[in-house]
Amino acid sequence: MNLFEHVGRYSRLMAGVFTKPQRWGILFKQYLAEIEKQGIQSLGITIIISIFIGSAITMQMVLNTENPMLPKYVTGLTTRETLLLEFSSTILCLILAGKVGSNIASEIGTMRITEQIEALKIMGVNAENYLILPKILGFVTIIPVLVIFSMFFGLVGGYFIATTGVISPAQYVMGIQYAFNPYYVTYSIVKSLFFAFIISSVSSYYGYYAYGGALDVGKASTNAVVNSSIIILLFNVILTDLLLV
């Protein structure tokens, strides 16, 4: 299949997804379940990664700002800007594309190859809407929470490094407060909303059209992660141009 065929099929799938749900109550129940599955269960990895990356960024910034002309608080400042502008939205979403994206693609793909999707269709259920809409809504809802957690714990990770004596914690705290632009948080969250939509919808697409056996579900899962990541990187450039430049 070429790119245009994929885009056409993806658009058709999305047209089926964004229709009126047959039962609002069931959608709401699944929506909450997806928030728990994709969001709450990703909190742990988000916190761990953010702490370690925040720590690493701070150490690198200390090394890169050793010039006596630069004030010590620059380390905190640059750590904050890196986390807010790029890590907590783009890099975090690339990591989540691996966790959440492969989970969605393999779940829907397995349902496809075990005829569960056919069973839904024959019952008269709009399978696209029933399966995919709660996943998209759930992930888009929870992603800002994950981004905020990532920002906070990334800065906490940097603080740990400051406490080891490379710079003083007070200088680090001053740096993360210095010339703070709240719009960067908004920018980061807006980007993450787009990325969450890309991860959940592209992964659902690859899962939904998986055919064959277990190997094909694996392939669908890999394709979901790889293509979501590429699209995220592309949109990162577009959104930065639109929102920041």
**Contact residues: other proteins, CB under 8 A:** 22-23, 26, 110-111, 114-116, 118-119, 121-125
Whether the Cβ atoms of residue 67 and residue 170 lie closer than 8 Å to each other:
no
Q: Which residue number, 121 or 231, has a Cβ lying nearer to other proteins?
A: 121
| DSSP codes, 50-110 | HHHHHHHHHHHHHHHT--TTS-TTHHHHHHHHHIIIIIIIIIHHHHHIIIIIHHHHHHHHH
Q: How far is the CB of 1 from other proteins (least distance, A)?
A: 17
Q: How far is the CB of 124 from other proteins (least distance, A)?
A: 3
Q: Which residue number, 99 or 121, has a Cβ lying nearer to other proteins?
A: 121
Q: How far is the CB of 118 from other proteins (least distance, A)?
A: 7
Closest CA to 187 of 138, 137, 236, 136: 236
Closest CA to 96 of 174, 4, 161, 191: 191
Q: Which residue number, 123 or 215, has a Cβ lying nearer to other proteins?
A: 123
Q: Which residue number, 53 or 217, has a Cβ lying nearer to other proteins?
A: 217
Q: How far is the CB of 123 from other proteins (least distance, A)?
A: 6
Q: How far is the CB of 26 from other proteins (least distance, A)?
A: 6
Q: Which residue number, 123 or 179, has a Cβ lying nearer to other proteins?
A: 123
Distance CA 36, CA 139 (A): 9
Distance CA 67, CA 63 (A): 9
Please give the distance of CA 42 from its chain centroid, rounded to a whole number: 10
Distance CA 136, CA 211 (A): 22
Q: How far is the CB of 116 from other proteins (least distance, A)?
A: 5
Phi/psi zone of residue 212: left (φ > 0), alpha (ψ -120 to 50 degrees), beta? left
Q: Which residue number, 111 or 147, has a Cβ lying nearer to other proteins?
A: 111
